Amino acid sequence: MKDQLIIGGQSVTSRLFLGTGKFSSHVIIPEVIRAAGAQVITVAVRRFDPDNPRENIVNHIPDGCILMPNTSGARTAEEAIRIARLARAAGCGNWIKIEVISDAKYLLPDNMETIKATEVLAAEGFVVLPYMSPDLMAAKKLAQAGAAAVMPLGAPIGSNRGLKTKELIRVLIEEISVPIIVDAGIGRPSEAAEAMEMGAAAVLVNTAVATAGDPVAMAQAFGLAVSAGRRAYLAEPEDRKRYASASSPLTGFLYGDSMKSEG
């Protein structure tokens, strides 16, 4: 049976979701997306600044991509809901990443406000992917509220610190029925691979690609890592063991039973 990622009833072709923030120029974005093989692409929603007009980022996102606007800037459920409705009114899809943050130091999300926003927006027909701090009960409530997936952080946004919350992510993967997508903090392709090996449905990466010396090459590395990690997960790796277990036979030694254990 083909390994498919289905979110909100839609088949998604890549388990690497990509953010578009922090790139030195928008021009490089199409090449980064192609190198990564990514399909779901996040964007932010902001007032157009007439004093500083930038070319519309949407022009740099290839056809066939799924746009996922985030509600960054929202500090409450009410603000997130308003941003989501504005984003959908743009006519470019109904996916929304709920991001409700009032902590400026660590940018840790407010799980309670995120749950409230998810309840309202899921009922309005959005495909809701809430960004959250990995807590099992919060994740259960998000899934019950109608989230299409749950997105726990690995480490603070932009920190490149990896899967600091991995034990809690593991619990979510085991207990929550909707896809678990690790979002924030992944700093290296190896960390993306590790998340996928644990059974994450996908990962979302932004800073690690955008701020790399060579974002296109890094995007490609992440694409390969996510693919490798997923294949490893599906291949059912053996459990880790406390003691050694010889890989070569313990009989027929040329030099006798020198390695036989005492007693």
Partner 1 sequence: MKLTVNGKEAEAIDGMTVEALIKERRLDGACIVVEYNNRILKRDEWETVVLKPQDILEIISFVGGG
Q: Would you say how long the chain is, in residues?
A: 263
Q: In the set 14, 20, 111, 220, which binds partner 1 (CB under 8 A)?
A: 20
With contact defined as beta carbons under 8 Å apart, do 137 and 104 qualify? no
* C-alpha to C-alpha distance for 168 and 56, rounded to whole angstroms: 38
Segment interacting with partner 1, rule: CB under 8 A, options 83-91, 147-155, 164-172, 254-262: 83-91
Two tokens, residue 62 = 């290839």
129 binds partner 1 (CB under 8 A): no
Pairing mode of beta strands 10-12, 5-7: antiparallel
Nearest 5°: phi and psi at 67?
A: -80, 130
72 binds partner 1 (CB under 8 A): yes
* C-alpha to C-alpha distance for 255 and 193, rounded to whole angstroms: 42
Angular region, 197: left φ>0, alpha ψ -120 to 50, beta rest? alpha
Give the closest residue to 152 by CA, choosing from 210, 206, 111: 111
Segment interacting with partner 1, rule: CB under 8 A, options 53-61, 185-193, 217-225, 243-251: 53-61
Positions in 147-186 near partner 1 (CB under 8 A): 157-158, 184
* C-alpha to C-alpha distance for 225 and 16, rounded to whole angstroms: 9
54 binds partner 1 (CB under 8 A): yes
Two tokens, residue 249 = 């036979």
262 binds partner 1 (CB under 8 A): no
Interaction pattern, residues 85-104, with partner 1; x per rule: CB under 8 A:
xxx-xxxx------------
* C-alpha to C-alpha distance for 26 and 202, rounded to whole angstroms: 24
With CB under 8 A as the rule, give the number of residues binding partner 1.
Answer: 40
Measured from the CB atom, the residue of 107 and 228 that comes closer to partner 1 is 107
Q: Which residues are catalytic?
A: 97
In DSSP terms, which residues pair with 181 in a beta bridge? 202
56 binds partner 1 (CB under 8 A): yes
Positions in 23-52 near partner 1 (CB under 8 A): 23, 26, 29, 42-50
Positions in 182-211 near partner 1 (CB under 8 A): 184, 204, 206-207
Measured from the CB atom, the residue of 114 and 207 that comes closer to partner 1 is 207
Q: In the set 4, 59, 247, 251, which binds partner 1 (CB under 8 A)?
A: 59
In DSSP terms, which residues pair with 17 in a beta bridge? 204
The binding site for partner 1 (CB under 8 A) comprises 19-23, 26, 29, 42-50, 53-59, 67, 69-70, 72, 85-87, 89-92, 157-158, 184, 204, 206-207
